Every structure is written in structure tokens, then in C-alpha cells.
A and B are shown apart, each in its own frame.
Chain A
Amino acid sequence: MALIQITEPGQALDPHQRKRAAGIDLGTTNSLIAAVRSGQVGVLKDLSGVSMLPSVVHYSSTKVTVGTEALSFSASEPFNTIASAKRLLGRGRADLDDVPADQRYDFAPDDGGMVRLQTAAGVISPVQVSAEILKVLSDRGAATLGGPLDGVVITVPAYFDDAQRQATRDAAAIAGLNVLRLLNEPTAAAVAYGLDSGDEGLVVIFDLGGGTFDVSLLRLSRGVFEVLATGGNSGLGGDDFDALVAELVLEKAQSDGGLDASSRRQLMTEARRVKELLSSQSQVDVTLSLPSLQWQGSVHLAEFEDKISGLVEETIKASRRVLRDAGVTATEINQVVLVGGSTRVPLIRSAVEAFFGRAPLTEIDPDRVVALGAALQAEVLVGNKPDDEMLLLDVLPLSLGLETMGGLVEKVISRNTPIPVQRAQEFTTYKDGQTAMLIHVLQGEREQVADCRSLAQFELRGIPPMVAGAAKIQVVFQVDADGLLSVSAAELGTGVSASVTVKPSYGLSDTEVTDMLKASFAYAKEDAAARMLLEARVDGQRLVDALRAALEQDGPALLSPEATQALQRGIQTLESALAGDQVQLISAETQNLSQASDEFAAKRMDQEVRKALTGQSLDGVLGEKPITAD
């Protein structure tokens, strides 16, 4: 299996031109960063040789600590020590009723949006907690790879909805990372297993992590990874197993469960230890001496399995549903890959094996496989492997819809639709002279608004006054390759574009992200102006480099000599701006050149499309059919 070995192509890039890319697995319990170095992919370790960073952040009034050091505060300062923040990303207070959240977090007063936490450092968003973890990993990457990272791939559960993906993106922005792609964890795992190389067929990725469960069906053919269907539960994972072990212990100790926060933390830590040991032994002895609970006894594997059987059954049910969505049966599956530390639980392994009728692949450490796959993909996306033909095609994990009369949801894009995708929906006014309209965007499979996840409310204003039913308002949903939604609207009859005000239900506004960026520790140390200049220069230089290479390659074929000269003059203008230090001038010139080269870029893209089909050894019907670029 072509696991960790990557052979560089003949025309390997000049080492000085190689870009620094990394894959980040931002996990519920632990996070990892991996990268390709000297053709080998591996996880990056910290100074003490440890690769796993506990996804825990401790806040004091003066300092933020992350990882193992933060973990040591979890018993003494449970509310200042934020664990499992991934579960809170893009979530409102009402979404968290099923986890014993009050025991673990001190929530700030509910404002109906994404939850926020009270800490010694003030009110903190889970996005900021995630950003702190990303920063530590990013610094580790920079230290190991010899400079700041040019780009990263961050993995998310396939089942993450728009609010959760957006929150992850925002966290990366606050951490100052250039995100090449949000990659679904199961897809990353398939990449890590090298399943692209020659393997064809259907692969199931069964991913049970600390706090999330995903099951995805992928079709591999000709180097294309296509996600056919995906499902799972973004609130089910190892944490729930720990909670069940804790419950079991409390039952055995005949405790009413009324523990203080610190004791509860210690109990959870003990529960995790018991769970982990039960993966390799049939009985674990427990001694608890907490302020409010003293108990000595043992927990048996059979008791544990009995306790978790409901959750295990849920994972199998989700697997069955994914197969059904894709219209395939378990016998058609060629490979099953296990991902996530929780798949070490023997009952999970045997249930998966029984359901799919085959032994799952487990060669790569299930805790590392996602980060390794992300690193491989980052290497491709950053441009270090120009010959790589691997392509990952994703689908929308959950249907997108709009609220209609009577609190019902009308689906606009259904789940498992390949992305990027764009769909339009038409609305009309119901009152004479109506000039505004409120549109509520939802995500989920259920019919009732109350059962779906609210993503945003859009208010359309400036609709020309007409009689009821005469206005034709077109709302366009666009989902990009990262699975992120954007919405635009226009009145078709008059061509007046209605203005759209977006109020994300569980997300952060752009201003909030900017404020958090400014407030962030790393940012405070830097000169804000210097950072803006740096970013403007990177953007400008990127355009210069890309355009120069494009002109060399395709200028003669696609452009008139005059057009080529005009673009070259534009490059020179931008370069002289880049030599200076005026941020606004650099941005303006970058914008100008970008606009001036738009047509050329479009022509090149059209040419790519032509090449794609003429390059195919298909049945010969393909002439050099000219496609007009416009």
C-alpha cells in the first residue's frame, strides 16, 4: 500500500520554490498537524517530541495556554479550561441540551446566537478557542518547516453544517492561516490510505472521533474521489462513551450524580481511562476518591458494551442510511476504513465488520490518518505537486432550504448534491406595494422549520412597489467547494437588485471576526499596519507571478500582441506599487490588474475545458471544436 511513501515526480521543484504546506486535523479531543517533508508525510511534533495536542485551552486574566499544560487546569479551574470546543462551533445554547454541558462550561447569557463562555479572560467564543489551538499548531508547523506556512488544509467532519464550517473558517482567519481547503475528514482518510492509486470501487469511511461521527461512501475512479453520500451525527462520539462509563460508575457507586464541576471533570478523566483500557482488557479496576464521591470497584467489558449498545446501533443505522442514499448494498463495498480513536472500541469494530461483511482497514493509526491525508492534499493544493491528477469531489452534507408559509421548509438544494452548486428560487410579494421581504435559510432534512437548523435570515429591501404577486424575486444559493453557502437576490421584472442583509443565526459577523483578530494575542504583538502591508503584498505578488507564468504559457496563443503588452504594462505598474509601502495603492493596482486580466483568465479556463476532453482517449467523436471565449 502506498501509504507514507510519496515519490516525487521527475521534475521535482527547486527546493527554494517549494511552498510550506500542512494538514491540520482540528479534533474535538486532540488536534494534529502533518506535513510532507523530503517526500514523506508525517505528523509534526512539538519540542518535547509529542505530536498530539490536546484540544484544550486555559484562560487566565493574563495568559492563554493550550494543550497538555492547559489540561492540568481542568480539575482546578473547570470553567477557565475549555475542552471539546469543536462541539460548540456554530452551535446555539438550545443545540447543546443533550450533553451535560452545564457541568463543563459556564455559558455567557444566551443571546440566541452561537454560545459563548465565561472565563477569567472574559467572554470567549468557541471560535477563539479553536483559533488558539490552530495558532499553536501553525507555530509548530512554521518551526518545523523553517518558516511561516503558505497554506493549510483543515479537516472538518463531513456532516458539519454551514454554520460549523463557517466557524472553522473564521477560527483559521483569526489564527492568521491561509486555508487552501476545508476538507472532509473521511475524504482525508481515504487519501491517507493511498486509495487513489489504482484502487477503483466503493469505499466506506467510518469515522468515530471524540465528539463527532461520520460515515461516508466514496467512489474512486481514475484518480477522482467522489463522495456519493455522507451521514452521521455531529454530536456523537467518544465523549458520549466516557459519559456512559461515568454513568455506569455512578450507578455502581449508588451516587445520585450530584457532583461539583471539579469532581465531575475528574470522573470523566477516569471514565476515559477505563474506556481506553477496555479496548484491550475485559475488566478495569477503579478507585475514586473525589471530594463528593468515594468508590472502589471494577468495570467489566460486558457492562460497558451493554451501556454503549444503543450508540453503536445508531452508528450502524447511519451507515445503512448512507448506503441507501447512494443506492448500494453492503456487499458491493470494496473497502471499509476506520478513523478516529473511538473505533478502537472492540464492539464498534465487530459491529462494523458484521454490517459490511468484511474486516475494516486499520493499518494507519486512526488518530493520525486524517491529518496525514490533509497534509497530502495540502501539498497538492499549494502547488508542490503540479502533476498530481488527484481530485476530491464533495457533496453537500445536509439539504438547504427556505422557510415557507406555515413554518414549513422548502428544499432548494438537497443533500448529497455535488458541490460547488448554484440553485435559484423565485418568490413573489403577497401584499400590494410590498417593498421588503424576510427570507429564512435553513439546513436539515425535516419538514418543520423548528426541526431544522437556522443558518441565516435575509432581509430583501428596495423591491419596487407593485401589486401583490407581480414582483419576481430570485434568490440564488451558491455553495462553494468548501461547502460554504452564500446568497444573493434580485427582482427579475425590473432588474432592480434587492439589497441583502445577512444575519447569521449561529455565526460571527465579519466585524466580529475582525475584532477577534485584533484582540488576539498574536495580533496584539504585531503592528497591524505591517500585517496589512504584508498581506497586500502577498496578494499582489501572487497575481504578478500567476499572470506572468500564464502569459508565457498561453499569451501567444490566446492574446493579440497588443493585449499581451497591455497586461505586461499592468504587471510593471503593480510591481512598482509593490516596491513601495502604500497598502491602498498596492490593493488598488492588484484590483486593476485582476480586472484587466479577467478575460485572459476566462479564455485560459475555456482552453482547459477543451483540453480535458480532447486529451481523453474516447471514441473519436471529438474534433477540435472551437469554443468561443467570452
Chain B
Amino acid sequence: MNFSQNFFEIFQIDVAFDLDLLELTARYQALQKRVHPDRYAGQGEQAARLATQWATQINEAYARLSEPLARASYLLDLQGVVLAQNPTLDSAFLFEQIELRETLDEIRQAGSLARAEAFIKTLAEKQSAEARAFNDHFKAAALTEATTCVYRMQFLSKLLLGAKALEEELLGY
């Protein structure tokens, strides 16, 4: 098994951020049909091991490419960009983040499900805007700007997780 292939090579698609998700899914399914351990059931330990390794790798590749933030970080990784643990971002963005966190706290205090849902929507829109900006910068080979977009997406994604956890809490899960 060739683990040195990058995830785009596994699916034999062009290295790009704006990929066709339906196409990716079709290729994912076609690959899993060939390598899934079910196809090798009862063929012994060797076949099961190989199939599990491949199926795991394909699941990992699909997970990394199908989700925008994971895909964007992966693209930077392929370009040799090492993401900072504590990146410096411009104060306007950070200030906005603080405000958003405060809003989330207010919603938590108020216990309002409707506001939590609206907030999640707002965050998701901001996230999509960053993703579009990433795509433009990445295409233009402006890696510094693209990297900043990924940092921003990381912030938003963390906030989104918090908002979704709050929503679950309010839904009583």
C-alpha cells in the first residue's frame, strides 16, 4: 500500500480547494466498494488487514477533503506551510471574536434556543465567507493571506462547536 500518495492522488482529482463534492463522494464510494473489508470477509487475516488499512486511509482522505477547514489546512500542509499554534491576527478580527464570544455567553445566560440557532447560522455564513476568501488567495498563490484565512476559520470553527454544544444543551440532549 502506497501511503505516500496524497489524498487528492488517492481520489485522482486535481489539487484545489473548490472541488466538486458530489464527484468526490462518487469516487469515495467507488473506492470503498473495492477495498472495504466486507469484500474480503472470510479470506483470512492478511486480506482483512490490508483491506482495513486501505478502507481506513480512504475514510481519512474523504474526511480531510470533504470538510472545508480540514481541506484548506491540508492544502497548506501540502505547500509546506506549518500552521502556528498561537497565530497573531489583526485586532479588528480578534475584537469581533471577543464580541461573538460575549454574544454566545449572553445566549447561554438567556437560554434561548432560537437565538442559539440564529447565531449558528451567522457563524456558518462567516465561515463560508472565509472559505471563499481562502479559495481566491490560494488560487492566486498568496499563501500568507490564505494562511490567515485558515486561522480565522479555526477561530470560527471553535466558536461554532461551542454554539452547537449550547444548542444541544438547550435541546435537552
Contact = CB atoms under 8 A, between A and B. Distances in A.
A226 B30 CA distance: 13
B46 A601 contact: yes
Contacts of A151: 41-42
Contact of B44 (A324, A542, A613): A542
A602 interface: yes
Contact of A612 (B5, B30, B46, B171): B30
A391 B29 contact: yes
Contact of B43 (A221, A419, A546, A608): A546
A481 B63 contact: no
B34 A422 contact: no
A194 interface: no
Nearest to A380: B38
A560 interface: no
A417 interface: yes
A19 B42 CA distance: 11
Given A381-B41, A594-B46, A601-B47, A606 B31 contact: no
Nearest to A391: B33
The 3 closest A-B pairs by CB, nearest first: A381-B41, A612-B34, A608-B34
State which size class the interface on A falls in: 35 or more
A579 B35 CA distance: 33
Contacts of A422: 56, 60
B13 to A, nearest CB: 8
10 contacts: A391-B32, A393-B32, A420-B59, A421-B60, A480-B37, A605-B1, A606-B1, A622-B12, A630-B1, A630-B2
A608 B60 CA distance: 18
Contacts, number: 131
B43 A542 contact: yes
Nearest to A318: B173
A192 B5 CA distance: 38
A389 B55 contact: no
Given A181-B38, A417-B59, A630-B1, 5 more contacts: A226-B29, A546-B44, A612-B34, A616-B27, A625-B12
Interface in A192-248: 221-224, 226
Interface string B15-47: 000000001011101111111111101111111
Contacts of B25: 221
Contacts of B113: none
How many of chain B's residues touch chain A, expressed as a range? 35 or more
B120 to A, nearest CB: 11
Contacts of A391: 29, 32-33, 36, 38-39
Secondary structure dominating the interface of B: helix
A621 B79 CA distance: 23
Nearest to B37: A481
B34 to A, nearest CB: 4
A629 interface: yes
B30 A615 contact: yes
A1 interface: no
A121 B172 CA distance: 45
A608 to B, nearest CB: 4
A68 interface: no
A177 B25 CA distance: 36
Contacts of B173: 317, 321, 445
A151 to B, nearest CB: 5
Q: Which of B38, B52, B60 has the most CB of A within 10 A?
A: B38
B51 interface: yes
A628 B2 contact: yes
B54 interface: yes
B23 to A, nearest CB: 7
B171 A224 contact: no
A393 B31 contact: no
B7 to A, nearest CB: 13
Contacts of A181: 38, 41
B14 A621 contact: yes
Nearest to A591: B45
B56 A478 contact: yes
Given A480-B52, A613-B11, A627-B5, A321 B171 contact: yes
A629 B44 contact: no
A221 B30 CA distance: 11
B46 to A, nearest CB: 5
B45 A594 contact: yes
A226 B66 CA distance: 15
B31 to A, nearest CB: 5
Contact of B31 (A418, A613, A621, A628): A613
Interface in A394-433: 417-422
A421 B33 contact: no
Contacts of B37: 420, 480-481
B12 A180 contact: no
A50 interface: no
Given A221-B29, A421-B60, A539 B44 contact: yes
Contact of A392 (B31, B38, B45): B38
B134 interface: no
Interface in A585-623: 594, 597-598, 601-602, 605-606, 608-609, 611-613, 615-616, 618-619, 621-622
Given A150-B42, A543-B44, A602-B1, A618 B27 contact: yes
